[in-house]
Amino acid sequence: MSAKTVMNQVRPDSKPQHSRRQALIGVATWAAAPWLAGKAQAQALSLGNAGPIRILVGASAGGSTDTLARTLATEMGRLLVRQMVVENRAGAGGNIAADAVAKAAPDGNTLLMSFTSHAINASLYPSLPFDPIRDFTPLTCVATQPSVLIAHPSVPVKDVRELLDYAKTRPGKLNFAIGGIGSSLHLAGDLFKMESGLFIVNIPYRGTAPAVQDVIAGQVELMFAPLINTQAVVRAGRLKALGVTSPQRLPSLPDVPAIAEVLPGYESSAWFGLFAPGRMAPLLSRRLSDAARQAIASPDVRRRLEGDGASAVGNSPEDFGRFVQTEIERWAKVVRFSGAKPE
């Protein structure tokens, strides 16, 4: 037999051996698939290094946003077995903190506790260094906090209906104290004027506390203020509560009507939400969202939220994302009506 003949011959068992090799490779790959999937999932769920997770807050220490962030951080840290640190980066209506988070790595180590201004600033500021939708991953809405329309006792009305009648015959004679240009409380008042057709003059202050004090002193007649800042003085008779901004009456003020009872559809509750940087892996954002929502559902966190006059939410990332988009569109109309410019 020639060498050529020998070389051209095929061994009878060569094909089965090749098939066995393929089969063994296939079995090995199949067996490794769960491990590979698990490794990929573990990477997606990784929260980076073992250092602290930072929650940036675009407001000063001691305010509602800061208090909510610290309350949430304590319980989330327990659930994630990670240290949580709250950093205050106040300024520009929350934009300084938001910009830092927008530019952070989407590794789960930097989060943002934001508030209604996240939606308002999209139209209030002529340009932003970030996109309020694209550059953030929504995790959940933490809570909402309605406000109350208060009046000095000298104003001869007892509710919103009487205020409408009184103010219509006195255009420009009444004043609104506002705790900050472009704030949710400022725009609550302008939304009220937009829907009622009233002409009430805005008197801006640098902060809610001095604005409330001037209403108590009778320097200004009216104000939209957080319930937690005014409930005690209302009960003491130093201020009158004319209406609440929630869709229905509040259990804590059952005799005070919702403004929506007189102006159907009126609602202006502040909200607080947790965001991560954009482009975050879905499994990682889901883990963070689940931890936040579980924390919000805990009895201790709910009690603390209620103590701040807030109502717990804890919705899904998808629902929160849709809500933020709706809020941006809604407040853009009020910003245009108000003519407000950032300070």
For residue range 4-38, what is the model confidence (pLDDT) as tens digits?
Answer: 333 333 343 444 444 444 443 343 334 443 433 44
124 and 153 part of one domain: no
Helices then strands, counting H and E runs in the chain, come out as 12, 11
Question: Is 135:279 a contact under the CB 8 Å cutoff?
Answer: no
The number of domains in the chain is 2
| CATH number, residue 120 | 3.40.190.150
CATH number, residue 215: 3.40.190.10
Q: Determine contact, residues 310/143, Cβ cutoff 8 Å.
A: yes
Residue 122 inside a domain? The answer is yes
Is 247 found in the same domain as 155?
yes
In 3D space, the residue among 235, 220, 173 whose CA is nearest the CA of residue 200 turns out to be: 173
The pLDDT assigned to 49 comes to: 54
**Calpha distance 326→157 (Å, rounded):** 34
Instruction: Clarify whether residues 320 and 242 are in a common domain.
Output: no
When pLDDT is averaged across residues 211-235 and rounded to a whole number, the result is: 93
pLDDT at residue 308 in the model: 80
Residues 141 and 200 in one domain: no
Residue at which a domain ends, from 226, 244, 261? 261
Inside any domain, residue 213: yes
Token output for 172? 């420009």
Backbone angles phi, psi at 269, to 5 degrees: -95, 135
Among 243, 261, 279, the domain-final residue is 261
pLDDT tens digit sequence for 180-219? 889 999 999 999 999 999 999 999 998 888 999 999 999 9
Q: Of 261, 285, 319, which closes a domain?
A: 261
- In this predicted structure, the answer to whether residue 82 has a pLDDT above a threshold of 90 is yes
Q: pLDDT, tens digit, for every residue of 270-279?
A: 999 999 999 9
pTM of the model as a whole = 0.82
Same domain? For 247 and 274 the reply is no
- Same-domain pairing of 255 and 166: yes
Half-sphere exposure of 281 (CA within 13 A, CB side): 15
Q: Which domain holds residue 278?
A: 53-145+270-338
Burial of 301 (0-12, 13-18, 19+ CB in 10 A): buried
pLDDT tens-digit map of 30-79: 444 343 344 433 333 445 556 899 999 999 898 889 999 999 999 999 99
- Is residue 83 located within the same domain as residue 132? yes
CB atoms closer than 10 angstroms to residue 30: 9
The residues, ordered by sequence, that sit 6+ positions from 255 with a Cβ below 8 Å of its Cβ are none
Q: How confident is the model at residue 252 (pLDDT cuts 50, 70, 90)?
A: confident
What is the share, in percent, of the chain residues with pLDDT greater than 70?
Answer: 85
Is residue 141 scored above 60 in pLDDT?
A: yes
In a domain, 220, yes or no: yes
pLDDT of residue 173: 96
Q: Does residue 231 share a domain with residue 175?
A: yes
